[in-house]
Structure 1
Amino acid sequence: MAIEDDVVVVGGGLAGLTAALAAARDGAQVRVISHKESTLRQASGLVDVLGYPPGGEGPVVDPFDAIPDLPDEHPYRRVGVEGVREGLALFDDVAGYAGDHTDRNALVPTFGGTVKPTARYPDSVVAGLASDRRDAVLVGFETVVDFDAALAADHLEAAGVPFAVRGATTRFPGGFRADAAVTRLARALDENERVERADGPAGVSTTVPAREALAERVKPHLGDAGRVGFPAMLGLDHPDEVRADLRSLLGADVFEVPMAPPSLPGMRLQSRFEAALREADVALTSGNPVVDHERSGESGDRVDAVVVERNGARVPHYADQFVLATGGLVGKGIDSDRSGVREPIFDCRVAAPDDRYDWFDEDAFGDHPFARFGVETDDDLRPADADGDPTFDNLRAAGAVLGGYDFAAEKSGSGVSLSTGVVAGRRASEATR
């Protein structure tokens, strides 16, 4: 057997990329293997550590104060407060987000008009924080149907935000098709393309830069508001420049409202992580699924390779250490059917009741056990059997594949991915020495 890499990470989401970067920065030769593009492009771009405690009242003001009171099986209890801080520190270095000046959550308005407690957020949303008491206008576009500005404004007022907020809808400037992708509109703002002026003389075609044309459409709706929010599509490559120009043209602060996927803030974040991985010489292999593994050892307790299926062939990737970061039930890192719940690559144990009716609560908004299904680990993040003993000596798990927490209810998904990712990556690297 030829060792090709020190560490192989299976999965290209936030947990996998974090584990890979942590291991590489610790001196390991690292490869990331992912089936598809990173799931970061589907994420909001916000980083939630802990917004609501399990079964408790919320929102959480200081996630770090709440972590010691979480159930023993929660991933945060495995890595501890220090592990969470290490994950955020790596993220801060890569992303340069706001929020690193405090342990307290910020309240970020989202596209549905809800207010989300979050620990890190892009600079593009800072002017829209719910703690800001300046009046706001939300602007939507006729063809961007995922963001109903008037409805979002009504929901924010109903939530009791300490400012007046109104919603307005207008056409995006230029002759773009009604089904133009959000990324196409963002590119127009990135490049400041010239588009037809909305109020040009009859019969005369005049063009202006896209940012100026957008400001012309928004000004009549602004009134005395000190800030204006747009769906998160103000440029993909140059969002800071786009916002600065719009701020100057409108005479008001400009912010973005996080959107449903595809998420431009998520794409921007993906680009930053990929740049950091390239700088750290991490190899990225994508496009083919990992379907199996090879093992050795007296009792088969050591992973030798993961097996990728490529054009009908089974291709092994050998390494000294492995990190499993394939996602949960939604990401297909955990499979379920009428016979039970399983982790499909390494057959790691996933605890679940035998009776499927015990997997969920009768109340649609109740406490659903299936939301906490996932791989159980020892304190070294190695997947464990029913007795708590590691299944493999050289395999660790990170992110949504882990059990013991409900990321959707807690608003803790990104925090768990970062903290378990950085700890799993560093421990895998240390084990190669």
Structure 2
Amino acid sequence: MAIREDVLVVGGGIAGATAALAAAESGATVRLLSHKKSTLRQASGLVDVLGAVGGDGSTGGDGSAAGGPKLIADPFEALDRLPDSHPYRVVGADAIRDGLGLFDEAVGDAYAGEHTDRNALVLTHGGTIKPTARYPESVAPGLASSEEDTLLVGFAGLTDFDAPTAAAHLEATDVPFAIDGVTVTFPVKFRDDALTTRFAKALDTDESSARKRLADAVRDAAADLDDYERVGFPAMLGDDAGREVRAELADRLGATVFQIPTGPPSLLGMQLEDLLLDALDDAGIRLASGNPAVGYEASDGRVESVLVDRRGREVPYAAEEFVLATGGLVGKGIDSDREAVTEPIFDCHVPHPTDRYDWSEPEAFGDHAFARFGVVPDDDLRPTDGSGATEFGNLRAAGGVLGGADTAREKSAAGVSLATGAYAGRRAGEEAMR
């Protein structure tokens, strides 16, 4: 017997969580299916809406992205510069605001940026400046728009963040403040392959007086700590007790303390995942994880159920309405081999050049076709077939599985997930409750 809900969302990332939350607001019963943990733990924890537009991907003589996309200050003012096929052009600015509103409600005061449409400028672990729409409150004191002299602190053996190098790169961009970097030894000894969470937990519990010893190490390494108004660390300053850790370090250092987003595994990404899971639980959304969706059952142009593989047995999950939010090529929501590009659950049409060599460009930062691979939606986010007809009347797509956007170049991945997730979830909920 099939497990039945009003709305079934397939995919556990930002798009899936947003779609589930939006559908639940209609009063519908909602279940979210996810196979594995989302890719959020590999992400920075920042929420970009639109950071750059335009560019042809060409490079200059020094290898720089001379023809690359140009950074923008206000994502909403740049929407009309996107192609008609872009998901933002399909759902409109209201859906972007709706998605951001759902996000703000879900994460509460753990994130900042809701006070303005304009992008904030966040320092990155690579020594660059990234435009983003929402960012953890622990990152907020380190924005590049603040003219406060800054010291960056890295840890010996942490290859993801070299503080002196990052500081030198930022200084070369003419940031409006003095910036330096130092490297210290973390006060608790770990194995070389220790996870970010191990550092964070040591500061949470103040293992071996880690907080005082870390502050002392920074004071010893800095020529004159009084020269700096803020001190930035890689994002591992505590997990459960993060605010307490940062407050104590700030008191001991006599400067504001902030975190710098890092590469994977990302503590900020893991914390965002936890916030979204808590919001789903609070909304009464049922979760089913650990088993892959492998197919579907349909009749008369409508999906009846999604088939989930449970130890070799296909279990149907039925619903009135469905949202596909399984991600793009990275999230395995879009699959490819040497011959073709496919959507593996519903076998939705994914347009792509027949010649595999046309999937990419010679330039590393070029305008690659594969970056925009995905299903093609109608004006209600329902996937269409090769002739433009709707594949299924009760299936909508959201997030990275949608084609038409190069979210990496545009710095728009989370925003596309929020906007399309909100739209698809609300429409699914409305239709299910008719």
Q: TM-score, normalised by structure 2?
A: 0.93
1:149 aligned partner: 163
1:345 aligned partner: 345
2:64 aligned partner: none
> What is the aligned counterpart of 1:169 among 180, 183, 192?
183
Distance (whole Å) between structure 1 residues aligned to residue 2 and residue 259 of structure 2: 49
2:125 aligned partner: 111
Distance (whole Å) between structure 2 residues aligned to residue 2 and residue 331 of structure 1: 27
SS at match of 2:363: coil
2:65 aligned partner: none
Q: CA deviation at 1:173?
A: 0.6
Distance (whole Å) between structure 2 residues aligned to residue 241 and residue 8 of structure 1: 39
* Deviation per residue, 1:165-192 (Å, 9 max, x gap): 1111111112333332210110111122
Distance (whole Å) between structure 2 residues aligned to residue 134 and residue 272 of structure 1: 30
Distance (whole Å) between structure 2 residues aligned to residue 172 and residue 335 of structure 1: 42
Contact 1:328/1:401 (<8 A) preserved? yes
1:36 aligned partner: 36
Contact 1:231/1:258 (<8 A) preserved? yes
Q: CA deviation at 1:159?
A: 2.1
* Deviation per residue, 1:271-303 (Å, 9 max, x gap): 111111111111111111111111111xxx111
* Deviation per residue, 1:48-89 (Å, 9 max, x gap): 000001337521110001112311000001110000000001
1:264 aligned partner: 267
2:150 aligned partner: 136
2:114 aligned partner: 100
2:294 aligned partner: 291
Question: Does residue 52 of structure 2 align to residue 52 of structure 1?
Answer: yes
SS at match of 2:71: coil
Distance (whole Å) between structure 1 residues aligned to residue 188 and residue 338 of structure 2: 52
> What is the aligned counterpart of 2:93 among 81, 94, 103?
81
Q: CA deviation at 1:270?
A: 1.2
Give structure 2 stretches of 5+ with no counterpart.
56-67
Q: Which amino acid in the other structure matches residue 19 of structure 2?
A: A
1:409 aligned partner: 409
Question: Does residue 358 of structure 2 align to residue 358 of structure 1?
Answer: yes
Contact 1:144/1:182 (<8 A) preserved? no
2:58 aligned partner: none
Which 10-residue stretch deviates more, 22-31 or 392-401? 22-31
Question: Does residue 127 of structure 2 align to residue 127 of structure 1?
Answer: no
2:61 aligned partner: none
Q: Which amino acid in the other structure matches residue 379 of structure 1?
A: D
Distance 1:185 1:3, change over 3 A: closer
1:282 aligned partner: 285
Q: CA deviation at 1:374?
A: 0.6
Give 4+ residue runs of structure 1 displaced > 4 Å after superposition: none
* Deviation per residue, 1:106-135 (Å, 9 max, x gap): 110111111101011111111111111111
Q: TM-score, normalised by structure 1?
A: 0.93
* Deviation per residue, 1:232-281 (Å, 9 max, x gap): 00111122221111111111011111000111111111111111111111
Q: Taking every aligned residue pair, what percent have the same amino acid on both sides?
A: 62
Q: CA deviation at 1:223?
A: 4.5
Distance (whole Å) between structure 2 residues aligned to residue 239 and residue 336 of structure 1: 41
Contact 2:69/2:410 (<8 A) preserved? no
Q: Which amino acid in the other structure matches residue 277 of structure 1?
A: L
Q: CA deviation at 1:406?
A: 0.3
Q: Which amino acid in the other structure matches residue 124 of structure 2?
A: T
Contact 1:40/1:266 (<8 A) preserved? yes
Q: CA deviation at 1:2?
A: 5.2
1:233 aligned partner: 236
When the two chains are superposed, the root-mean-square deviation of aligned CA atoms in Å is 1.3
Q: Which amino acid in the other structure matches residue 392 of structure 1?
A: F
Distance (whole Å) between structure 2 residues aligned to residue 2 and residue 272 of structure 1: 30
Q: Which amino acid in the other structure matches residue 292 of structure 1?
A: G
SS at match of 1:4: strand
Contact 1:135/1:225 (<8 A) preserved? yes
Contact 1:10/1:324 (<8 A) preserved? yes
